[in-house]
């Protein structure tokens, strides 16, 4: 059975590993990168807490001892359902089953100015670009004499009060407290402002009210200005304009306010729903196609779809692996999402955790330790876990981070 998997994120990689060395399967894993990226820790790369290599793992190393998994580095150009083929810039590939696990990308909701000037954080390279811009802003501020011009370099705006925005804002606040004043003694960091803009009435809207309240309180204690019901209207590269007319002068906007599915060409537009997601049935099959499947962030099962988080993608991969392995032997299983909880870290010793069964809400140091342990266990590779753990230990006991480096090749100016 020739199976093509598009995308080596949490879902695609999990499926390939589940079918690795299983007799009767020929797997081709196609991705534009030759590595797996651990997205939950992008914000630590962006704030100089971790090196990019610590959260990236070479795909070919994962399958060193594989007899049936091939890795192909390519960009998908089009799916040809009638021919059971996938066309890429590296050639065409035939399949008996196709699994679309291409994940999601930043959604700027059609605002071209935001797309041009704001910094997204959906890849390792984008996280490095944010780190470079953050550090470069302070290097520029040191050279300025005009107070107003300097202030725009000292104002940081994060848009989106979900886990990514909350974690990033808290990490920048920790930099402000512990590292930046030592790096730039010429600057008055009491004048540095971190704004977190959230369009709804609370941060961490997908979590419990208690977690939402705690996250807002923690952020305020860290010195982050949390602005709820704040809708960003425009950003021209120099100033943010809100729907209520308020203006914030800033040279950096980090966009964490929305995502959209990466749908390959060739999928019937009638099968694409809200959030640019592909409609699938309870078996993860794309509606109307018995040989094409979609899992993870790009798939929409049911009226609203499941949350676009890693556990959903991994559980859907497990379901597909089971059904593929038992074709003709057992009745295929349908997908039922098992919510094991959600969590977000806010800053040093601060996090929130929601556990559905038994129903628990945790906060503070205990939640922070649970968050660290679970994320450490999810990282691919013993070496990566070791280096991440060592970095965390070093940062915790020294109140310092040794990765505040500006790499010019990754520095992307927004025009």
**How big is the CA angle at 390 (ends 389 and 396), to the nearest 5 degrees?**
90
E strand or H helix at 324: helix 310-325
The residue count of the chain comes to 415
Half-sphere exposure of 375 (CA within 13 A, CB side): 23
- State the alpha helices, DSSP H only, in 145-279: 147-154, 163-178, 180-183, 209-221
List the catalytic residue out of 167, 186, 198, 303: 167
Contact 232, 240 (CB under 8 A): yes
Question: What is the 3 state secondary structure string of 137-153?
Answer: HHHHHHHCCCHHHHHHH
How distant, in Å, are the alpha carbons of 71, 86, 87, 267, 358 from that of 78?
Answer: 18, 6, 5, 8, 45
- Per the annotation, the verdict on 167 as an active-site residue is yes
* Cα 107 versus chain centre, distance: 12
| Among candidate residues 35, 29, 163, the one with its CA nearest the CA of residue 101 | 29
Phi, psi of 80 (to 5 degrees): -115, 85
253-255 and 259-261 as β-strands: parallel, antiparallel, unpaired?
A: unpaired
Packed helices 163-178 and 209-221: angle between N→C axes, nearest 10 degrees:
20
Active-site residues, by number, are 167
């Amino acid at each position: 059975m020739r199976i093509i998997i598009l995308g080596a994120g949490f879902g695609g990689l999990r499926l390939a590993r589940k079918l690795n060395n299983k007799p009767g399967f020929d797997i081709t894993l196609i991705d534009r990168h030759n590595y797996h990226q651990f997205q939950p820790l992008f914000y630590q790369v962006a704030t100089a807490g971790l090196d990019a290599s610590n959260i990236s793992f070479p795909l070919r190393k994962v399958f060193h001892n594989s007899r049936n998994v091939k890795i192909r580095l390519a960009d998908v150009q089009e799916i040809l359902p009638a021919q059971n083929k996938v066309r890429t810039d590296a050639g065409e590939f035939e399949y008996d089953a196709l699994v679309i696990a291409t994940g999601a990308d930043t959604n700027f909701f059609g605002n071209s100015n935001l797309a041009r000037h704001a910094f997204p954080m959906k890849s390792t390279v984008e996280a490095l670009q944010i780190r470079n811009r953050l550090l470069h802003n302070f290097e520029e501020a040191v050279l300025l004499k005009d107070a107003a011009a300097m202030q725009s370099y000292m104002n940081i705006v994060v848009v989106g009060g979900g886990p990514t925005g909350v974690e990033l804002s808290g990490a920048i606040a920790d930099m402000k407290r512990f590292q930046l004043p030592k790096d730039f003694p010429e600057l008055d960091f009491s004048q540095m402002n971190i704004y977190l803009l959230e369009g709804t009435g609370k941060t961490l809207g997908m979590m419990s009210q208690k977690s939402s309240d705690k996250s807002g309180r923690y952020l305020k204690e860290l010195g982050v200005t949390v602005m709820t019901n704040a809708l960003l209207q425009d950003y021209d590269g120099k100033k943010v304009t809100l729907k209520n007319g308020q203006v914030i002068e800033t040279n950096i906007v980090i966009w964490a306010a929305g995502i959209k599915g990466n749908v390959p060409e060739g999928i019937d537009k009638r099968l694409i729903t809200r959030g640019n997601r592909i409609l699938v049935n309870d078996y993860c099959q794309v509606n109307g196609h018995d040989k094409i499947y979609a899992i993870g962030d790009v798939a929409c099962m049911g009226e609203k779809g499941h949350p676009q988080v890693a556990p959903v993608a991994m559980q859907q991969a497990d379901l597909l692996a089971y059904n593929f392995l038992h074709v003709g032997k057992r009745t295929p299983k349908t997908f039922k999402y098992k919510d094991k909880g959600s969590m977000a870290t806010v800053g040093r010793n601060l996090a929130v955790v929601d556990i559905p069964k038994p129903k628990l809400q945790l906060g503070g140091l205990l939640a922070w330790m649970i968050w660290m342990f679970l994320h450490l266990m999810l990282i691919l590779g013993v070496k990566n876990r070791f280096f991440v753990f060592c970095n965390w230990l070093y940062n915790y006991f020294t109140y310092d981070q040794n990765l505040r480096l500006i790499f010019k090749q990754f520095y992307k100016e927004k025009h």
